[in-house]
Amino acid sequence: MKLIIHGGFFSESDQSHEVKVAKQKSLKNIAQKAFEYLQSHSAFDTVAYAVSLLEDDPLYNAGIGSQIQSDGVIRMSAAIMNGETQKLSGVINIQNVKNPIFVAKDLITEDDRVLGGNGAKIYANENGFEDFSTEIPQRRKEYQEKLNNGGKGTVGCVAIDKDGKLAVATSTGGKGFEIPGRISDSATVAGNYANSFCAVSCTGVGEDIVSNATATKIVTRVTDGMTLENAFTKTFEELKAIDGFAGAIAIDKDGNIFHQDSYPTMVFASFDGENFEIFN
């Protein structure tokens, strides 16, 4: 049993040392809570739980930490994928729910598993998700001042459970000040992908991740026999060719954990019950 989580990027030039320390503490705490949860739950349930904790922390750009779009509205996207069944479900540009990842998780049993905009919100309301404003004063201040607070980013979790099953979940509040209706990578197989061989969650510039098909490439290459590290190396070389900005976390079927970013520093933490690895 192992897991790894990410919370976007950190920039020394845009964020303080205090914020860095706060993120390190937060990620360690969430990784530990998620690992404890993994002891008695599947990887699929665990990744949703871990991402919900990240959504609940305003340090990250997801859930209540979400950025505001150019029209002053928060729209969020999230997806989850079960490596065993290879089913993905997600929501795109959903508004006014506390945890988009739980709406995405509920959709896994539906025939129509990816919903967007108003349709996603109607589904959430019909399935017991209460209205919840994810806006916090700091986000409104940033929006009004037209400051895109650097170092924010998508959140995600990859886990392997005691049965060797893999799962991944990813959630984002967007990039801030984008054109309304813009779709990121998070609820697509470019940013969130898993099968029985490997699971990957991405963060960074969604357009770059989609153009590079980052998560899908890594998982496919591992499935075809590449080591996890080599699959990352080749995929990030291709990302570099388009000057892409991305980071990714992954676990393969043998429990190997790997992470890489094209521009430092992706914030992440991994835990296997004994050893923590946390960004520095």
Token digits of residue 167: 């799962």
**Cβ-proximal residues to 118 (8 Å cutoff; 6+ apart), any chain:** none
Indicate if 154 belongs to the active site: yes
Residue 259 φ/ψ, nearest 5 degrees = -150, 150
Contact 121, 97 (CB under 8 A): yes
Token digits of residue 17: 């040392």
Token digits of residue 226: 């590449």
How many angstroms separate the CA atoms of 38 and 24, rounded? Answer: 21
Residue 184 is labelled as binding a ligand:
yes
Q: Please choose, from the candidates 101, 90, 85, 43, the residue with its C-alpha nearest in 3D space to the C-alpha of residue 188.
A: 90
Residue 134 is labelled as binding a ligand:
no
Residue 223 is labelled as binding a ligand:
no
Catalytic hit among 154, 172, 214, 216: 154
How many angstroms separate the CA atoms of 255 and 274, rounded? Answer: 14
183 class by beta-carbon count within 10 Å (0-12 exposed, 13-18 middle, 19+ buried): middle
> What is the β-pairing status of strands 246-252 and 198-204?
antiparallel
Residue 122 is labelled as binding a ligand:
no
User: Coil, strand, or helix at residue 221?
Assistant: helix
Q: Please choose, from the candidates 196, 190, 197, 166, the residue with its C-alpha nearest in 3D space to the C-alpha of residue 248.
A: 190
Residue 205 is labelled as binding a ligand:
yes
How many angstroms separate the CA atoms of 195 and 165, rounded? Answer: 9
Residue 40 is labelled as binding a ligand:
no
How many angstroms separate the CA atoms of 227 and 218, rounded? Answer: 10
Q: Which one-letter amino acid corresponds to residue 30?
A: I
User: Could you give the residue numbers annotated as active site?
Assistant: 154
Known binding positions for substrate: 182-185, 203-206
Known binding positions: 182-185, 203-206
